[in-house]
Amino acid sequence: MCGICGIFDQYGNPIDREVLDRMTNILGHRGPDGQGFFVHEGVGLGHRRLSIIDVEGGTQPISNEDENLQIVFNGEIYNFIELRNELINAGHKFKTRSDTEVIVHAYEQWGTDCLNRFNGIFAFAIYDTRRQEILLARDHLGVKPLYYINLGHRIIFASEIKSLIQDPHCPREVDLEALGELFTFRYVPSPKTLFKGIFKLPPGHLMVLTKSTIRTE
């Protein structure tokens, strides 16, 4: 188990590093073995790591060869060795033996179609510095959590809601309709949560954040 979080400002405004630090640090129980950050124009990614695969070399965020793709990842890709060998044969060069880096190169090779190749449980964010967009994705069964909120031109996301509310602009109002669903069904159906404006990315879904659009499929 790891913890991921991020901020995407569609206007390209500077990231509040203090907020990103708080968002990341509160996920420390999910990843006690280390933390990492990536900050660029209008983008901030945070990661708390539980070391399992490639303990020495798998520190996140991880990039591709050209460092134009950056990823924070929570989960495990069970078939990453097979995919890694296929990507090496296609000419990709790896600097770690982690399943995280396999996701980066798979996205580089196949785009969002890479999601159909993964056998595993995952929630991740990939930032493409050339396209200036973020891909968020969640595994087919929704084992790994991913929450988000749209604060106008700024979208924040994280493995847990407690990370989102570290941002002082994130509302903390209970969604009474969702509360009724909790009492009725004993859970809150996706994409709702118990907080107004805060949503779950549904299982088997991806979201693409660009400077002008937000697309979910």
**What local confidence, expressed as pLDDT, does residue 185 receive?**
95
- Say how far residue 102 (Cα) sits from the centre of its chain: 15
Q: Examine residue 191 and say whether the peptide bond preceding it is cis (omega within 30 degrees of 0).
A: yes
Catalytic residues: 2
**What local confidence, expressed as pLDDT, does residue 96 receive?**
92
**What local confidence, expressed as pLDDT, does residue 34 receive?**
87
Place of tokens 């989960």: 75
Report DSSP letters for 63-117, one per residue. Answer: E-TTS-EEEEEEEEETTHHHHHHHHHHTT---S---HHHHHHHHHHHHGGGGGGG
Question: How does pLDDT run along the chain (217 residues), one tens digit per residue?
Answer: 799 999 999 999 999 999 999 999 999 999 988 899 999 999 999 999 877 665 676 788 999 999 999 999 999 999 999 999 999 999 999 999 999 999 999 999 999 999 999 999 999 999 999 999 999 999 999 999 999 999 999 999 999 999 999 999 999 999 999 999 999 999 999 999 999 999 999 999 999 999 999 999 9
**What local confidence, expressed as pLDDT, does residue 57 receive?**
67
Enter the pTM of the model: 0.95
Interatomic CA distance for residues 71 and 104, integer angstroms:
7
Categorise residue 108: left if φ over 0, alpha if ψ from -120 to 50, beta otherwise.
alpha
